[in-house]
Structure 1
Amino acid sequence: MTDLDPEDAKLLTLARSVRARNGAAEGAAVRDLDGRTYNASTVALPSLKLTALQAAVAAAVSSGAEGLEAAAVVTGESAVDAASLAAVRDLSPSAPVLLADAAGEFREQV
């Protein structure tokens, strides 16, 4: 495993924790430009569906974040889906997105 910056490792821990706590398909966390973190899990309601990363970005934006330093997703999928990536890119076109497997082990940076 690649050595991650401690702040990036914290994002993966937050994402893994929210996924486990909620029994969700995905967990995600983002860090804004002020260093504040926001985490969320998949939202799957009849009237509202959000990926975990979309929900985390929404939480950051609704709290006043103007940009993101980094994001992380813990998922059983092999890649970050396009809708999740688009949510991050809308706010910060060059922010790294860390992808971890379902156990929270870092796989790659998008």
Structure 2
Amino acid sequence: MPEPTASGASSAAPVGAAADLDAEDAKLVVLARGARARIGAVEGAAVRDQDGRTYAAATVALPSLTVTALQLAVASAAAAGAKRLEAAAVVTEASTLDGAGYAAVRDLSGDAPVHVAGPDGKLIGTVVA
């Protein structure tokens, strides 16, 4: 499971606040925070597709179904016809990015950055490739 870093390397390296992201990527962090807060989920996530459309989701943990926020955001994008992702963001209390969500992003894009932020919106790091 990759850890969020500025370079995609294996150790965590803080890279600043979400405000340090460009406006479109910072918007993903805001959407992910909102999705998480709406239901008090463990994680929230948002992705942006090749057309600039955004999809936000929160972790689903039911007795018969468990889906990470990032998996659900990617699934929503794919279900809407997205062929490629430009970027993704996850808001979480964890210090690492979940492997299943990361794999889902890579299914649609080999190079989209995945920004990981804490519940306060502060950027923990970014995983690339």
TM-score, structure 1 length as denominator? Answer: 0.97
- What is the 5 A alignment of 1:5-84? 5-84=22-101
- Aligned Cα RMSD in Å? 0.8
TM-score (norm 2): 0.83
Structure 2 stretches lacking a partner, 5+ long: 1-15
Q: Rg: which structure is higher?
A: 2
In the other structure, the counterpart of 2:8 is none
Q: State percent identity of aligned pairs.
A: 64
Q: Which runs of 5+ in 1 are unaligned?
A: none
Higher RCO by CA contacts (8 Å cutoff, separation 6 or greater): 2
Say how many residue pairs are matched. Answer: 110
